[in-house]
Amino acid sequence: MIKIKVPATTANLGPGFDTLGVALNLFNHINVSKDSSGNRCVLWESDVIGVSDSENYVKETLDKVLDKYGQPEIGYELIMADCQIPISRGLGSSAASIVAGIFAANYLLDFRLSTQDMIHLATEIEGHPDNVVPAILGDMVISCYDHEQNKVFYSIVDFPDELLFKVLIPDFKVSTRDARRVLPVNYTLNQCVSNISRVSMLINSLNTRNYDLLKFSLKDEIHEPFRIKLIHESDVIVDKLKKVNSLGSFISGAGPTLIGLVKYDNIEFDMDFIPFLKSLKNNWDLKSITVNKSGTTYEIIE
C-alpha cells in the first residue's frame, strides 16, 4: 500500500496568471493498495462521501493514466483519507486530485514515470501548469507550457519562510469555468505591460526580501478586476486587508478564496480580522498557512 500526501496550492498571486503557483501546508491524503482480482473500488475514511466516483478526479486520473500506459486490467482499492482542501474554493483541489491520481498510478505501474513525466501528464489533464507543478514539487514555482515542444518548463522560487498566508475561505463556491468565462478575449497593450512589469517586480521582491514592493507587485489587470465581482463581500474584505496593513493581497486561483500576506510575527491580524469576519453575511473561515517546501510525498507500507 502507498500513502500519498498532496498539498493545496494558490495560483496566480495577482499578476502571474496561469504561471505562478505556491504549495501550501494544507493537504489531501489518499491510500492505494493493489487488488489482484482486478476490481477497482473507492472508500472514504470519513462517514461523509465528498464526491461520487464519477466526479472523483483522483479515480478518474488514476484510471486514465493506467489506460494510457496499457494497464487497464490493474485493480486497486483507493481510500480517500483526510481530505483538507475545500472543493471549488481556489486552493487547487482539482490539481491536488489529479496529482494524487498520477502518483497512485505510478505506484501501480511500479514507478515507471519520472517527475517530468508526471508534470507533463498533470498539465495535460489540468490544462495549465500553475497549480499542478507546485503541488508536485513544493515551494513557489514559475511554470510555462511550450506548445511547440509540448513541454513544461519550470523554475522554483525560494518563497520566504517569514511570510504567512492569511487564507480567507468562504462558505460558497466559484467554479473555475465560470471564473474563466468572465475574462475578456482581448487586452490592451497597457494592461499587458502592467502585468509583465509587476510579475517581474514580484519575483525580485521575494528574492530580495523587499516586502515594501509587494502591494504594488501583487496588483493585477488581467483577471482579478473581472473575477472579484463573483466574490460576495470581496470589496469590504479587500478594503479591510488594506486597513490592517497586510503586505499585499490577491484572489487565490480562480477564487473565491482571498489571501493576505503578512509577516510571520504579525499577531495583530487575527485580533482585527476575526471579529470583522463575524460581521459579514457569509461565513468566512480564516486559516494561517505556511508555504509547503516538500510537494507531494508518499510512504510505502508493506
Each residue's pLDDT, cut to its tens digit, for the chain (302 residues) gives 999 999 999 999 999 999 999 999 999 999 999 998 889 999 998 776 677 788 899 999 999 999 999 998 999 999 999 999 999 899 999 999 999 999 999 999 999 999 999 999 999 999 999 999 999 999 999 999 998 898 999 999 999 999 999 999 999 998 888 899 999 999 999 999 999 999 999 999 999 999 999 999 999 999 999 999 999 999 999 999 988 889 999 999 999 999 999 998 888 899 989 999 999 999 999 999 999 999 999 999 97
Same domain? For 87 and 151 the reply is: yes
Same domain? For 9 and 149 the reply is: yes
Domain total of the chain: 2
Q: How many CA atoms lie within 13 A of 37 on its CB side?
A: 4
Same domain? For 92 and 225 the reply is: no
**Which helix H or strand E contains 199, and what residues bound it?**
helix 189-208
Rounded-to-integer distance, Cα 291 and Cα 163, Å: 8
Same domain? For 27 and 41 the reply is: yes
Neighbours of 50 (CB within 10 A): 13
Cα 183 vs. chain centroid, distance in angstroms? 20
- Cell matching residue 130: 500553475
What is the pLDDT at residue 48?
Answer: 66
Same domain? For 25 and 145 the reply is: yes
Describe the chain by its helix, strand, coil percentages, rounded to 5: 35, 25, 35
Same domain? For 102 and 195 the reply is: no
Same domain? For 232 and 93 the reply is: no
Range of the domain at 261: 163-289
Task: Give the CATH number for residue 14.
Answer: 3.30.230.10
With 0-12 / 13-18 / 19 or more C-beta atoms within 10 angstroms meaning exposed / middle / buried, residue 63 is middle
Neighbours of 224 (CB within 10 A): 22
What is the pLDDT at residue 178?
Answer: 87
Same domain? For 51 and 73 the reply is: yes
Same domain? For 143 and 220 the reply is: no
With 0-12 / 13-18 / 19 or more C-beta atoms within 10 angstroms meaning exposed / middle / buried, residue 135 is buried
With 0-12 / 13-18 / 19 or more C-beta atoms within 10 angstroms meaning exposed / middle / buried, residue 251 is buried
Same domain? For 26 and 85 the reply is: yes
Same domain? For 21 and 152 the reply is: yes
Task: Give the CATH number for residue 239.
Answer: 3.30.70.890
Same domain? For 13 and 54 the reply is: yes
Rounded-to-integer distance, Cα 85 and Cα 5, Å: 12
CA angle at 122 for the pair 196 and 145, rounded to the nearest 5° = 30
What is the pLDDT at residue 46?
Answer: 78
Q: Which runs of consecutive H residues, i.e. helices, occur in 33-188?
A: 57-68, 93-108, 115-126, 132-137, 176-181
